[in-house]
Structure 1
Amino acid sequence: MQLHYLIREPKEILDKNPLLLLLHGYGSNEEDLFSFANELPQDHYVISVRAPYDLQPYGHAWYAIHFDADENKFSDNEQAKESVHLVAHFIDEMVQKYPIDAQKVNLIGFSQGAILSYATALSYPEKINKVIALSGYFNSDILVKEPNAVAISHLKFFVSHGTVDQVIPVEWARKAKPALEHLGLEVSYHEYPVGHGVAPQNFFDFKNWLTQNEHPIRK
């Protein structure tokens, strides 16, 4: 399956440039996060990818969300795992197509895109360097393989959430830090007094975190 994407090439050309891969939320599209592409570090490729599943009447999803008769919400974990594989394959394609530094591929995910970013990084740590997980939560049920402590040890996470998020409760987001730290990982966790969105201060903080944590994947 070919995934549609938008790309902003780096303004500062290196032999190989880092990549920021943007994964949008449920019901949105690749244009959403790409709207702030020019605010991101100038030496990075910025690629925003469209999720594979079409929603009606518009928008896209990484996996289906269903409601049962009691209005309990549950995720299609098999579809989510398929999307994890798709993102991993897409990264390989982009590294072959553009002069991207395979050691410096970073994910920025919002909402469902953040949930998928956690799973992709922990399932394919050899492809990912850092993860910025905005307004999502960590769902271990969609990992496609058991995390290997040595293989994932280089991963760094910036996790943020709105304290009045009406879509994904902040309590869900708070579980990510202890869960990841239990795996021996470094997590920078932040909360902001907003709903389901990215506050200006949040944007400023994760940009700073990105530039302060420049390090390649250790093989």
Structure 2
Amino acid sequence: MVTARGKYKTGRLTTKPGKTGSNAEPKTGFQRLGLDTQKDGFIYVPQRYDSSRPAALAVMLHGAGAPAEQGLSLLHDYADEENIILIAPAARSYTWDLIASDAFGSDVIFIDQALAQAFGNYAIDTTRVAIGGFSDGASYALCIGLTNGDLFTHIIAFSPGFAYALQKKGKPAVFISHGVQDAVLPIDPCGRRIVPLLKHDGLEVKYTEFQGGHEIPPAIAQSAVEWLTR
């Protein structure tokens, strides 16, 4: 018998885009996912969302020890203007399962449930389905994005530490930024090591270094959004 957690042990998601599950125009703005009473997540729907104009979708992951709201904040300033639906789940532990316990599991399940909710209720542009994050969230986004590159068309990694996949599917485009003075996840063993490995796998990578530390300057976030929506 395969348990629910066992089914997700490789990091593979089961949810796929499909027809929206509701004929009514859903609520816009900031909402809870309603998937967990203790550690939930959030969804932000652009104020001018229109089901006749499918929106881009970005799952944005917080850094270690941060709340789900941090993930939402990464691209929130651009969501209305660029028609991007944002999903910001909370990690089940202090950080994402692969980092906290060396195995995929409960966080993959939660992200899968959040995606099922989004695909079931909103019209999504399937050429603009992204997963991204900051710090540990960026590392985990690379792991999940590379594993599910047949679902995610884009990966946005702000200051990642590593990239890992038990199996790789598809060829997602990748955006990576890293501060040259980053003292938390230093650029040489992190960003500068990851990028050549991804390119070796034949992936399109947009890589930007900036003068700064473990952070996301506004110009970098804007560049990522322009890259996603171009």
What TM-score do you get using the length of structure 2 for normalisation? 0.73
**Structure 1: runs of 5+ lacking an equivalent:** 54-59, 66-74, 213-219
Moved more, 38-47 or 185-194: 38-47
Percent of aligned pairs sharing the same letter: 27
Q: Distance in 2 between matches of 1:210 and 1:103?
A: 10
Give the direction of change, closer, same or farther, for the CA distance of 1:159–1:121 in structure 2 (3 Å limit).
Answer: same
Cα-Cα RMSD: 2.3
CA contact (8 A) 2:180 2:187 kept: yes
Question: Partner residue of 2:167?
Answer: 146
Question: Partner residue of 2:88?
Answer: 48
Q: Name the SS of the counterpart of 1:209 in structure 2.
A: helix
**Structure 2: runs of 5+ lacking an equivalent:** 6-34
Question: Partner residue of 2:9?
Answer: none
Question: Partner residue of 1:131?
Answer: 155
By how many angstroms is 1:89 displaced?
Answer: 4.4
Give the direction of change, closer, same or farther, for the CA distance of 1:176–1:82 in structure 2 (3 Å limit).
Answer: farther
Counterpart of 1:22 in structure 2: which amino acid? Answer: M
Q: Distance in 2 between matches of 1:201 and 1:135?
A: 14
Of the three residues 182, 201, 204, the one matched with 1:186 is 204
CA contact (8 A) 2:51 2:122 kept: no
Count of residue pairs brought into register by the alignment: 189
CA contact (8 A) 1:88 1:120 kept: no
Give the direction of change, closer, same or farther, for the CA distance of 1:62–1:21 in structure 2 (3 Å limit).
Answer: same
Is 1:98 the equivalent of 2:122? yes
CA contact (8 A) 1:88 1:127 kept: no
Give the direction of change, closer, same or farther, for the CA distance of 1:190–1:24 in structure 2 (3 Å limit).
Answer: same
Is 1:37 the equivalent of 2:73? no
CA contact (8 A) 1:12 1:42 kept: no
Is 1:111 the equivalent of 2:135? yes
- Higher percent of residues as strand: 1
What TM-score do you get using the length of structure 1 for normalisation? 0.76
CA contact (8 A) 1:24 1:110 kept: yes
By how many angstroms is 1:7 displaced?
Answer: 1.9
